[in-house]
Amino acid sequence: MCGICGIVSYRTTPALDLLRRMTGRLVHRGPDGNGYYRDRRAALGHTRLAVVDTVGGAQPLCNEDGTVWVTFNGEVFNHVELGVELRRLGHRFRTASDTEVIVHAWEEWGEECFSRFNGQWALAIWDRREERLVLSRDRLGVRPLYYARTAQGLVFASEVKALFADPAVPRELDPVGLDQTFTYWSTVAPRTVFRGVEQLEPGHLAVLDRDGLRRRAYWRPSFPARGQEPHRDTRENAEALRERLVEAVRLRFLRSDVPVGAYLSGGIDSAVTTAVISRHTDVPLHTFSLRFADAEFDEGRYQRSMAERLGTRHEDVVVSASDIAEVFPEVIRHTETPVLRAAPAPMFLLSRLVRDSGYKVVVTGEGADEVLAGYDLFREARVRLFWSRDPGSATRARAAELLYPWMARSPGRMPAFARTFFGRNLDPDDPALSHRPRWDSTSMIKRMLSADLAARLHRSQPDGVVAAMPPASGGWDPLSRAQWLELTTLLPGYLLSSQGDRMLMANSVEGRFPFLDPDVVDFAAALPAQDKLFGLEEKYLLKRAFADLVPASIRHRPKQPYRAPDAASFFTGERADWLGEVTSPRALAAAGVFDPAPVAGLLAKCERTRGRGTGNSDNMRLLAVISTQLVHRLFVAGDAAAFDRVLPEPGVAVDLVAEGTADRTVDLAARDAAGSPLDPAARDVADLHPTR
Amino acid sequence: MVPDRVTSRRVTRLLRDHAAARRPGTDPVLESIATAVLVEEVFDITLTDDEIDPVLLDDPAAVTALVRRHGGTP
């Protein structure tokens, strides 16, 4: 895992000092090395977390004649198989890295190469001959990729803070981006919360040349029409799922030149991944868990039982409310966007434990809930659909009592409230029937917006996630439509980003997600809905497929979503200084997002209760205020230079402009063949950089 | 038309798998509602309130008859 950045300009030569400043802001993503490439039109930067080919994989990296350069963040797990195929087709390799496979795959297959990758990536390819930049992002958005169009051209980077090194990129909040966040929990790509900053959509590539920037999808989530699913035998499906998942786990555990650990949450997803690693590899396994001081959130009992069963070397970190408050500003520095839950903060502390234990790669169970229908939201949708067939039926209304059994104030204990909450907008023809309650309750945040922002949003067009659903989705099973919405909104926008990549990379740790393997995702999408959500039994096929590896105590425990104390984290103990500063009337007025009066009321309420017993809506509203204010302070009002970090000496330093060779091609492979005592990266430097 | 025995076999297997996934201690009425959710989903039918009955929905023969009556698709 790494950090990437770059500049392309058809008017001026990209400034190397700007590129180096951008690169410096990504050093936490890649503390093991850095490098750059520059010619008259493009500059590419890279910070490296060395995981595959730790000696030879320095970047940016080029093809044989130096005409195609790549800067790459991520992994192509099937690089070995692709490398064999490409060698057979005549390509010459200088390293054993997956990065070089990308270069040759691009030469061989062009834009079609991305469909062949099994991996998680954000990358940029610069073709010097064509003066063309290609950006690409993995299918589901595991790795981030942002860009901004400027008067000079385009800047891109793994994180927004690197783009803000360029003074031409405005530092302003985007009202529509905020509107999306306060509805869907995150922005929907290509939008971000910053005006003028875009993100490449998952499963897309973008091409920039003298004709401009064009984006297109190379993959989209898709489902068969209900009743047309190709595989309808549940027993066979369980076997096929197991086969695919075992291979996905093996690829992610074994394709690394450094040790790989695993997260163990206490739920079935990570229990499956760790059990598969133990069963199918001979390597000792180190597992890591997150625990909470507050028993309401703690899953330590299940974590320990699984670790003991598998005999792993197990470590955990116990997180208290004050721990969350203490690291929260740092967390927002990494999320770069408002969050409506405190849940990313403990993930930040968990990745710190991993790093302190000497690991920099972990396998996790992320993605199983979306791909195999684990969320309560899917159960909720099925209950609402059941109810919508006769909205006046008192019997059907009682189905809501089957939801959220883990909640202290569950629908079973508060049936009247449940009927009111889940019984709204029961329109079976609504393609977003599944998501209306969540979106409606999240939108309560917007009642606190400042008059100015509310007026601007009122004038803006509603943003159409539902309108963007594929025309064929009308024939999908309702579960498939709900999965599509999750795969398009919450997964890339929040779970893989604010709670995933950002919390891992903050401590220079790479996450690998077997449930997001394309073979697993495509297979699961084609399953009949009942294999995934069997009645109201979530992740049914997964439980069935791994019944022998995961104990019944974990398979049959009611789904407990990952949560952390929200309001309680900020109001239980001593108040953090920063909290008062960012929520002061002056700070609120400066940001212009929230009306200070209702915020003051909310804060007073939390103060009074010390955050205990705070309801879902108030928790969300509080976190929206705190995190948005922090985003404003850090990224809009604050000194952007605070993100600058001094870079060590680059391992790759190729500056064709300084050398005056920007118009020539260089046959690196021919010189490699002549024999050089230096490693390939060093040869690049020695050959092309006059100062080394 | 799907033969009765095909539907019957399917229903029997479905109710058996559903029973295996059941959590002990659930209110029988709620349990029958959960079964109704499953049966409606799998066979694409809509039951009447009277048919969402614990005794009825626990009996494979009765559920098979319901599926036939409502023109369910296995």
**Which residue of A422, A534, A540, A560 is the best one to mutate when testing the B interface, meaning the one whose CB has the most B CBs within 10 A?**
A534
Locate tokens 């000194």: which residue? A639
Quote the pLDDT of residue A386. Answer: 96
How far apart, in whole angstroms, are the C-alpha atoms of residue A454 and residue A178?
Answer: 11
Residue of A nearest to B35 (CA): A535
**A424-464 pLDDT, tens per residue?**
889 989 999 999 999 999 999 999 999 999 998 876 655 58
Tell me if B74 is assigned to some domain. Answer: no
Of B17, B37, B42, the CB nearest to A536: B37
Q: How many CB atoms lie within 10 A of CB A286?
A: 18
Chain B CA closest to residue A539: B21
DSSP code for A357? T
Give the closest of B21, B33, B42 to A402, CB-based. B33
The CATH architecture assigned to A2-171+199-221+648-688 reads 4-Layer Sandwich (3.60)
Cβ-nearest to A386 among B17, B37, B49: B37
Chain B interface includes A392 (CB < 8 A): no
- Residues A348-390 pLDDT 10s: 999 999 999 999 999 999 999 999 999 999 999 999 999 999 9
Task: Cite the DSSP H helix spans in A448-501.
Answer: 451-459, 478-488, 490
Q: Which of A2, A5, A62, A606 is catalytic?
A: A2
User: pTM for the whole thing?
Assistant: 0.93
**Which of B10, B27, B41 is the mutation pick for testing A, counting most A CBs within 10 A?**
B41
What angle do helix axes A98-109 and A79-88 make, rounded to 10 degrees? 50
Q: How far is B27 from chain A (nearest CA, A)?
A: 10
A534 contact B CB<8A: yes
Query: Is A415 within 8 Å of A398 (Cβ atoms)?
Result: yes
* Preferred mutation among A402, A404, A410, A532 to probe B, highest tally of B CBs within 10 A: A402
pLDDT at B72 over 90: no
Secondary structure class of A599 (helix, strand, coil): helix
Rounded to an integer, the average pLDDT of A270-291 is 94
In a domain, B30, yes or no: yes
pLDDT tens digits, A512-538: 999 999 999 999 999 999 999 999 999
Token reading at A465: 């996630």
pLDDT band at A281 (very low <50, low <70, confident <90, very high): confident
pLDDT at residue A253 tops 60: yes
pLDDT band at residue A680 under the 50/70/90 scheme: very low
Q: What is the pLDDT of residues A531-548, one digit of tens each?
A: 999 999 999 999 999 999
ipTM: 0.94
3-state secondary structure of A524: helix
What pLDDT band is residue A236 in, cutting at 50, 70 and 90? very high
Task: Read off φ and ψ for residue A207, nearest 5 degrees.
Answer: -120, 130
Rounded Cα distance between A615 and A335, Å, is: 24
Residue B44 placed within a domain: yes
pLDDT band at A22 (very low <50, low <70, confident <90, very high): very high
Taking an 8 Å cut-off on Cβ atoms, the answer to whether B41 and A530 are in contact is yes
DSSP tag of A10: S
How high is the pLDDT of residue A658? 86
- Separation CA A62–CA A94 (nearest Å): 10
A684 or A625, higher pLDDT: A625
**Domains of chain A, residue spans:** 2-171+199-221+648-688, 234-372+486-555
Contact predicate A95/A56, CB 8 Å: yes
Q: What mean pLDDT value characterizes chain A?
A: 92
Contact yes or no for A297/A318 (Cβ under 8 A): no
pLDDT score for B74: 61
B42 is a domain residue: yes
Tokens representing A59 are 């970047």
CA distance A485 to A483: 5
Give yes or no for A383 touching B (CB within 8 A).
yes
CB A227 to CB B73 under 8 A?
Answer: yes
* Chain B contact residues (CB < 8 Å to A): 17-18, 21, 23, 29-30, 33-38, 40-42, 46, 49, 52, 73
Tokens of A617: 């809506």
Residue A648 has pLDDT above 70, yes or no: yes
Range name among A87-96, A514-523, A596-605, B6-15 with the lowest pLDDT average = B6-15
Confidence of residue A168 (pLDDT cuts 50, 70, 90): very high
Residues A626, A629, A635, A639, Cα dihedral to 10°: -110
Would you say residue A663 has pLDDT above 80?
no
pLDDT exceeds cutoff 70 at A679? no
Let me know if residue B13 belongs to a domain: yes
Query: Is A5 known to be catalytic?
Result: no
Give A524 to chain B, closest Cα distance, Å: 18
Please report the pLDDT score of residue A682 as a whole number: 37
DSSP per position, A322-345: HHHHHHHHHHHHHH-S--SSSTHH
Q: What tokens appear for A529 in the block?
A: 């809905």
User: What is the per-residue pLDDT for B51?
Assistant: 96
Residue carrying the six token digits 């595989």: A231
Per cent of chain A over pLDDT 90 is: 82
Q: Quick check: is B60 in a domain?
A: yes
Residue span of the structural domain in which B51 resides: 4-69
Please answer yes or no on whether B49 and A386 come within 8 Å at the CB atom: no
Residue of B nearest to A381 (CA): B37
Class of domain A234-372+486-555: alpha beta
Please check whether residue B8 lies inside any domain of the structure. yes
